């Protein structure tokens, strides 16, 4: 069985290479945006006639003509320009499938990336710390190869390499095809192997055993770091367009955001690895992150309520990286022969894990759950995690474990 994995390495391009990176990224962005414009015009012209549409293979054939009109495009590797059009195709596919909004133009500083799709033209010399790509070192003696940091051996067959800028640094995202063992005949699941996780705002991840995870890695809301970000955003809004100061602030802000994103990803990776290593079946609730993080602003005719409050909650949800958590946990469990079960989130925070009574009044504060029917008291997220686990057990056809066996009220153990 084969599986695709991606691994990311930090690049240390020299000055000339960085200039070249920017130039290629700029050309790819231009091709992407022109392709987008072409599709929009095409649709306007032919919207009445059915069955006529553009595909990236067709747009690809127009690239030579475009290069004649804009000769600087010929300096960029041809494959990278083609991949920009393929990215556009994927963006439209996602749009038509209802998974994403209408594709937006790519912007400088925000979308600086390009992809090399041909494995035959990619080589890695991990010992020397070199990445060899078309236009970068594919000549005698690897002259011009990109210096890189390899933290771990690159195993598997290389499929493609994407170069991307985040903040001040450049990274290579390497797509690998690896062989993995087919899991032995799936053993029946026992009740002890099923684990529930609740995703919260204060504590990012709470387990059904009362273990809270992830909160110690992230900076607290309202900390110096959050204030610094706000200051930078204000400074950017004040700076004059096109000024040197604006460019400087923008770079600082990008670096700040990139660091926040790295820390969030680090937290998710640590938490998901720990959970996947220790539990075979994990149950989480189905949270539609996109609609949960949508703005509550509404329209002019129908203004939304509690806009600022919702905006604050959105930041909190995005901060904890809920979407990525589910993706990575699913991948890690699959690699270990485990299973991720997703259950409905309805009323998990209002249901008593002890007697099953449902009442909004049982949720005394954000952290405290006290059942109005039986008096069971627990951390609200822990109570919810137990409910999520029980829903998973019911789906598997296993009766929930005896409710009285639960850890005592308020028993929250912190691991990281
Ligand atoms: Zn109760």
Please tell me the distance from the alpha carbon of residue 254 to that of residue 109, in angstroms, as a whole number: 8
pLDDT for 412: 43
State phi, psi for 15 to the nearest 5 degrees.
-60, -45
Measured in angstroms, how far is the CA atom of residue 313 from the centroid of ligand 1?
28
Measured in angstroms, how far is the CA atom of residue 405 from the centroid of ligand 1?
14
Measured in angstroms, how far is the CA atom of residue 376 from the centroid of ligand 1?
5
Helix (H, G, I), strand (E, B) or coil at 387: helix
Measured in angstroms, how far is the CA atom of residue 231 from the centroid of ligand 1?
47
216 token code pair: 């110690």
Measured in angstroms, how far is the CA atom of residue 386 from the centroid of ligand 1?
13
Q: Which residues surround ligand 1, an ion (CB under 5 A)?
A: 352, 354-355, 357, 371, 373-374, 376
Measured in angstroms, how far is the CA atom of residue 326 from the centroid of ligand 1?
29
Measured in angstroms, how far is the CA atom of residue 351 from the centroid of ligand 1?
8
Cβ pair 368, 354 in contact under 8 A = no
Cβ pair 77, 116 in contact under 8 A = yes
Please tell me the distance from the alpha carbon of residue 290 to that of residue 152, in angstroms, as a whole number: 34
Cβ pair 385, 279 in contact under 8 A = no
CA torsion angle 20 26 29 30 (round to 10): -130
Cβ pair 258, 266 in contact under 8 A = no
Q: Which of 383, 358, 389 is nearest to 372 (CA)?
A: 358
Please tell me the distance from the alpha carbon of residue 160 to that of residue 154, in angstroms, as a whole number: 13
Spatial CB neighbours of 374, under 8 Å, sequence gap ≥ 6: 352, 354, 355, 357
pLDDT for 277: 92
Summarize pLDDT for 340-393 with one digit per residue, the tens: 999 988 888 889 988 888 888 888 888 889 999 888 899 999 999 999 999 988
Measured in angstroms, how far is the CA atom of residue 370 from the centroid of ligand 1?
8
Measured in angstroms, how far is the CA atom of residue 377 from the centroid of ligand 1?
8
Measured in angstroms, how far is the CA atom of residue 347 from the centroid of ligand 1?
14
Measured in angstroms, how far is the CA atom of residue 206 from the centroid of ligand 1?
20
β-sheet with 2-11: strand ranges across? 113-116, 157-166, 169-179, 2-11, 146-149, 130-132, 123-125
Cβ pair 79, 87 in contact under 8 A = no
Measured in angstroms, how far is the CA atom of residue 359 from the centroid of ligand 1?
10
Measured in angstroms, how far is the CA atom of residue 390 from the centroid of ligand 1?
15
Q: Which of 116, 197, 208 is nearest to 162 (CA)?
A: 116
Measured in angstroms, how far is the CA atom of residue 355 from the centroid of ligand 1?
4
pLDDT for 409: 45
Measured in angstroms, how far is the CA atom of residue 301 from the centroid of ligand 1?
44
Cβ pair 135, 20 in contact under 8 A = yes
Cβ pair 60, 78 in contact under 8 A = no
Q: Which of 292, 322, 309, 340 is nearest to 206 (CA)?
A: 322
Measured in angstroms, how far is the CA atom of residue 357 from the centroid of ligand 1?
5
pLDDT for 407: 43
- As annotated, the residues of the chain forming the CATH 3.30.420 domain(s) are 191-219+265-414
Measured in angstroms, how far is the CA atom of residue 394 from the centroid of ligand 1?
19
Domain 191-219+265-414 has CATH 3.30.420: yes
pLDDT for 270: 93
Measured in angstroms, how far is the CA atom of residue 381 from the centroid of ligand 1?
15
Measured in angstroms, how far is the CA atom of residue 195 from the centroid of ligand 1?
21
203 token code pair: 């504590």
Q: Which of 276, 280, 414 is nearest to 332 (CA)?
A: 276
Helix (H, G, I), strand (E, B) or coil at 212: strand
pLDDT for 294: 58
pLDDT for 406: 43
Taking the chain (416 residues) in runs of 10, the rounded mean pLDDT of each run is 84 94 96 95 80 85 94 94 96 91 90 94 90 85 85 89 92 89 62 88 86 81 81 91 90 87 88 93 80 54 56 54 86 85 88 88 88 89 92 81 44 40
Measured in angstroms, how far is the CA atom of residue 410 from the centroid of ligand 1?
15
Measured in angstroms, how far is the CA atom of residue 337 from the centroid of ligand 1?
35
Cβ pair 281, 341 in contact under 8 A = yes
pLDDT for 365: 87
Q: Which of 269, 284, 290, 279 is nearest to 6 (CA)?
A: 269
Residue 257 pairs in a beta bridge with none
Q: Which of 120, 134, 7 is nearest to 80 (CA)?
A: 134
């Amino acid at each position: 069985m084969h599986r695709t994995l991606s691994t990311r390495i930090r690049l240390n391009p020299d000055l000339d290479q960085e200039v070249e990176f920017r130039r290629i990224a700029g050309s790819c962005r231009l091709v992407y945006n022109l392709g987008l414009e072409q599709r929009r015009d095409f649709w306007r012209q032919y919207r009445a006639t059915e069955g006529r549409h553009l595909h990236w293979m067709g747009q690809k054939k127009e690239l030579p003509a475009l290069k004649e009109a804009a000769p600087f495009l010929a300096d960029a590797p041809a494959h990278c320009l083609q991949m920009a059009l393929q990215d556009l195709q994927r963006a439209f596919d996602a749009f038509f499938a209802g998974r994403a909004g209408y594709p937006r133009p790519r912007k400088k500083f925000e979308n600086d990336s390009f992809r090399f799709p041909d494995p035959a033209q990619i080589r890695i010399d991990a010992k020397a710390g070199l990445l060899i790509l078309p236009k970068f070192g594919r000549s005698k003696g690897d002259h011009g190869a990109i210096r890189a940091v390899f933290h771990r051996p690159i195993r598997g067959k290389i499929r493609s390499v994407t170069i991307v800028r985040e903040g001040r640094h450049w990274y290579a995202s390497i797509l690998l095809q690896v062989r993995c063992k087919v899991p032995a005949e799936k053993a029946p699941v026992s009740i002890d192997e099923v684990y529930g996780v609740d995703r919260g705002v204060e504590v990012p991840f709470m387990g059904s055993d009362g273990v809270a995870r992830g909160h110690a890695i992230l900076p607290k809301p309202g900390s110096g770091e959050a204030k610094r970000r706000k200051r930078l955003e204000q400074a950017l809004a004040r700076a004059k367009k096109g000024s040197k100061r604006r460019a400087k602030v923008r770079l600082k802000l990008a670096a700040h955001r990139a660091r926040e994103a790295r820390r969030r990803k680090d937290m998710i990776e640590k938490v998901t690895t720990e959970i996947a290593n220790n539990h075979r079946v994990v149950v989480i609730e189905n949270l539609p992150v996109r609609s949960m993080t949508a703005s509550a602003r509404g329209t002019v005719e129908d203004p939304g309520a509690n806009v600022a409050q919702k905006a604050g909650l959105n930041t909190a949800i995005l901060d904890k990286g809920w979407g990525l958590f589910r993706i990575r946990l699913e991948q890690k469990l699959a690699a270990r022969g485990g299973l991720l079960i997703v259950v409905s989130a309805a009323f998990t925070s209002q249901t008593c894990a002890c007697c099953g009574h449902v009442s909004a009044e049982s949720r005394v504060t954000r952290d405290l759950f006290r059942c109005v029917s039986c008096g069971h008291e627990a951390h609200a997220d822990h109570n919810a995690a137990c409910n999520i686990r029980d829903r998973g057990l019911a789906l598997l056809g296993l009766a929930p474990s005896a409710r009285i066996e639960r850890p005592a009220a308020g028993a929250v153990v912190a691991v990281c």
